[in-house]
Chains A and B, each alone.
Chain A
Amino acid sequence: QQQVKQSPQSLIVQKGGISIINCAYENTAFDYFPWYQQFPGKGPALLIAIRPDVSEKKEGRFTISFNKSAKQFSLHIMDSQPGDSATYFCAARGARAGSYQLTFGKGTKLSVIP
Chain B
Amino acid sequence: IAGITQAPTSQILAAGRRMTLRCTQDMRHNAMYWYRQDLGLGLRLIHYSNTAGTTGKGEVPDGYSVSRANTDDFPLTLASAVPSQTSVYFCASSAMTTGELFFGEGSRLTVL
Contacts and interface: CB of A to CB of B under 8 A. Distances in A.
Contacts of A34: 99-100
A91 B104 CA distance: 18
Interface residues of A, number: 24
Q: By DSSP majority rule, is chain A's interface helix, strand, loop, or mixed?
A: strand
A44 B97 CA distance: 19
Contact of A106 (B40, B48, B97, B99): B40
Contacts, number: 56
Chain B interface size, as a band, is 20 to 34
A43 B35 CA distance: 11
Contacts of A100: 31, 50, 94, 96-97, 99
Nearest to B33: A101
A84 B90 CA distance: 22
Contacts of A62: none
Interface of B: 4, 31, 33, 35, 40-45, 48, 50, 58-59, 90, 92, 94, 96-97, 99-101, 103-106
